[in-house]
Structure 1
């Protein structure tokens, strides 16, 4: 969660309780699965209030099934005052009223399982809402049994050591509360007080909540911002400028491994669950310490370094290749990677990593799909990217709904900061770029709602929408489906050895995937111009398995944003 922290972090981590292995090539269902992330607020509205809901999602399960994906990762749907769109939970056992009821949830889960789809729920465990019963009790008195569920600094000790808050208007992570004359800690919004994981009573409560959902039959958890859950509660002073490398000081605190082992023993080992933890350290060593099979903590590492390359626009393909290649190398024998280029904390994939110019957008979207679905690791695909949805490019602060943008805008206003520069940055990189409603058809509001959508629909919905792409055999949507089928039919794309070719080519990303004598060549032109690729690979007898052009280039030049997968032996 949270784009600022995500810039600082090198990796996500994905862990599974039932299939631990140090053998990176040992088959497992979750290695072969394709995950589709749904931001429920923006997916499909069933009642006309402008907000996506569970009934809306249920109505579109056949569409999701048609994509060929296996797992739906659903962003938080728990009861919440929505300070941060559900990442501030006020009741972990209730459904947000805007999304529906528990009966709706039960119907959703049943409908998914009937279609062979698995459900991973987002579990927010670094912090709760300040409207949660625990916090209301915690702040009521220093002697309350819930007091130590959170981090408090009594005012008579003086001002607490400075900590940086990502979402607070003043960037101060300590908020004074007059009710008990003390400060509470919040790494994110002041309405998101951090939970105290040192307290065994808190851990017991959390594990019980997780079992509540596991007993309902869900298939996994994503542990939001969990890398920050463990803290040095002596709160030693940090050096000046530490906020520029927060992961070094905030992530992987003391006790984190113990908490994960305890969680594994109390929850993961008792159910056939897939568990996904956001954040796994600052180095390969950190990652392997978390994912080694015999530690019974996490199982799969998610390299985050690659997705941040294009955070502010413009990037070097050479750097891109270097990052993805080094992460593959680090996990070639042990552990497992996940591959993604977008999520709810990022702007749209094609706008950042290629182009949303109408002349090339379709080919560019297909090229990126080829990359994500041909790399070694478990692919994650964000809703709408299968259509080639783009950034809406908002121009005024009134168009944004993201609390992070709004609070930073107020911060800069109060500090006489450069508002123009900030809005220019958000125009490209704001999280709201990736949260606009799904574009179902060319009717009003793209068929997302009959009411007024909570966030503006991208104006290009008349041409970019699911209904139009369903009818076009050459659409981005249908290419995505073909690429999914190819990956599922050829395990070389899942487990095969990855080898980078033509390393210094600034425009073409070329690599092979090889297993049991079968060798595939992936060619990707990341530029809007024709680009030469490696010599020394004979394609005269090669078989083209998929291409985003009617005829794949067999010569030494790729068309703009061309993508192709060749069987070369």
Structure 2
């Protein structure tokens, strides 16, 4: 089971630059992160996903990489990284890092060499055209920011392909030399102890859009090459793909269990928010039924929010509008036509019962749960910040100035801390909540502990359970033992009836309150408004 550790991991995502500043320059760093490992271990985190920490001009939050083999000097040194890895390993915490190889920074030495000399070996590391073809507007990743996927470079005398910002030229994945370099990058970080990679923009690695010589089958084969390389270097390392694609395309990333180990569950995430907006369990049931069956070694990564916008593009326009009206009614809360740039607590109007319901639901869905930094304390967003930065504010550690993130002057911070209102650091922070036994962070620690005890949710076969209440979503995950979970999506209390085998009984494991023990003769299960209950199903 060691190689399947990811199936029951508790994953926590963070950006080093906004987590903890150790030297007072206003920027988080690896020494600061290392000091915070006890906090992460204490709440039960078993795997960290680090956003890009490589040298970068930061046009796109570090996703425009200048050097794949180093650490951004603002964040520390390679030595600091190695010490962080050692301390994480001492606490039983694995680390996966972002692998950003769809594109580089325009300032990367490869691109600089490519634009200066068309005979350079690096020229073919990128995709060029003197007369670029027409493109579909839907290929723009940042509509209303960029108006083309081709940018003219006067020094090169040609256009280069970029699906993201024009400062991020696409790599030519059909070039064997580029593939070889990608494997070297993975090999480098595996030698430093990482347990795998989150593959950024995975669909663009295998679609070959704009690459004349691209062969779709050959590009998809590169995912198998990556898997084979990673497994040969470290048998328990994983590949996690960011691929927000239709259900019929998902198999291209999992293969027969020989490509990606994990995928973000974008589809189920969108159905979950539609179900929350409508308060109808059938929506979530439809989402689960829409997902393809996975090879046994593969896994979904479930989440409430991550570092980008909450994408709704797999929903119809009418469905998107329902979610917008429920959780992002103002235009300033939306981004890129199909996205929401908010954190969960403000979306739920700060209602603790609803916040708990959503995280209980996400943690119990079949797959592995992901938390974004700050979710354990209920951080909010800053809509005055541009674009995606609204949900990328510094971690709030205490009620000290700058939320304990840094002792630098406020105007020197890498990003402003939320300092006012209901979600200001004076009210929402780790230190204050740790002293309160009824706080969200203590509830979250209990949720994580319960999830670790219910490993059937990560490895078991699942089925939807029918109920007589349309607002209640019920499902069961079964391995050697069965876990049954109920969630009431409505703002009214109810009682539900489940059809169970006569020799089975339900024993409470976790819930929104202390319920009376079930009377197995009645078959009726009470739930509060926005209530949730987790059970073990045992023989009588």
Length-normalised TM-score, structure 2: 0.82
Counterparts of 2:436 and 2:83 in 1: how far apart (Å)?
32
- RMSD, aligned CA: 3.1
Residue in structure 2 matched with residue 379 of structure 1 by the alignment: 369
Correspondent of 1:177 among 134, 140, 153: 153
Q: Given that residues 125 and 171 in structure 2 are in contact (C-alpha distance below 8 angstroms), is that contact kept between their aligned partners in structure 1?
A: yes
**Structure 1 residue 87 and structure 2 residue 63: aligned?**
yes
Instruction: Identify which range, 478-487 or 296-305, moves more after superposition.
Output: 296-305
**Structure 1 residue 298 and structure 2 residue 260: aligned?**
yes
SS of match in other structure, 1:472? coil
Matches within 5 A, 1:24-39: 28-39=4-15
**Structure 1 residue 45 and structure 2 residue 30: aligned?**
no
Counterparts of 2:216 and 2:245 in 1: how far apart (Å)?
10
**Structure 1 residue 142 and structure 2 residue 118: aligned?**
yes
Matches within 5 A, 1:108-507: 108-154=84-130, 158-162=131-135, 164-167=139-142, 169-232=145-208, 253-272=216-235, 273-279=237-243, 281-284=245-248, 286-293=249-256, 296-309=258-271, 315-316=277-278, 317-318=280-281, 320-326=283-289, 330-331=293-294, 335-346=298-309, 347-348=341-342, 350-351=344-345, 355-357=348-350, 360-361=351-352, 363-392=353-382, 394=383, 399-401=384-386, 405=387, 431-451=388-408, 452=410, 453-458=413-418, 459=420, 460=423, 461-502=425-466, 505-507=469-471
Counterparts of 1:511 and 1:87 in 2: how far apart (Å)?
38
Q: Given that residues 292 and 335 in structure 1 are in contact (C-alpha distance below 8 angstroms), is that contact kept between their aligned partners in structure 2?
A: no
Q: CA deviation at 1:231?
A: 4.3
Counterparts of 1:138 and 1:504 in 2: how far apart (Å)?
64
User: Closer, same or farther in 2 for the Cα pair 1:529/1:261, shift >3 Å?
Assistant: same
Runs of 5+ unmatched residues, structure 1:
1-15, 20-27, 237-249, 406-430
Counterparts of 1:319 and 1:541 in 2: how far apart (Å)?
25
Correspondent of 1:561 among 527, 530, 534: 530
Runs of 5+ unmatched residues, structure 2:
310-340, 519-523
Counterparts of 2:256 and 2:226 in 1: how far apart (Å)?
15
SS of match in other structure, 1:259? helix
How many residues get paired? 488
User: Closer, same or farther in 2 for the Cα pair 1:491/1:152, shift >3 Å?
Assistant: same
Q: Given that residues 502 and 533 in structure 1 are in contact (C-alpha distance below 8 angstroms), is that contact kept between their aligned partners in structure 2?
A: no
Q: Given that residues 202 and 243 in structure 2 are in contact (C-alpha distance below 8 angstroms), is that contact kept between their aligned partners in structure 1?
A: yes
Correspondent of 1:66 among 42, 46, 56: 42
User: Closer, same or farther in 2 for the Cα pair 1:323/1:471, shift >3 Å?
Assistant: farther
Q: CA deviation at 1:485?
A: 1.6
Counterparts of 1:278 and 1:153 in 2: how far apart (Å)?
28
Q: CA deviation at 1:201?
A: 1.4
Instruction: Identify which range, 47-56 or 496-505, moves more after superposition.
Output: 496-505
Q: Given that residues 263 and 299 in structure 2 are in contact (C-alpha distance below 8 angstroms), is that contact kept between their aligned partners in structure 1?
A: yes
Residue in structure 1 matched with residue 521 of structure 2 by the alignment: none
Counterparts of 2:464 and 2:451 in 1: how far apart (Å)?
19
Counterparts of 2:159 and 2:218 in 1: how far apart (Å)?
23
Counterparts of 2:273 and 2:150 in 1: how far apart (Å)?
28
Q: Given that residues 221 and 276 in structure 1 are in contact (C-alpha distance below 8 angstroms), is that contact kept between their aligned partners in structure 2?
A: yes
User: Closer, same or farther in 2 for the Cα pair 1:320/1:109, shift >3 Å?
Assistant: farther
Q: Which has the higher contact order (CA 8 A, sep 6+)?
A: 1
SS of match in other structure, 1:121? strand
Can you list the C-alpha shifts for 1:505-540, whole angstroms capped at 9, x where unaligned? 453222223333x443312223344345446579x9
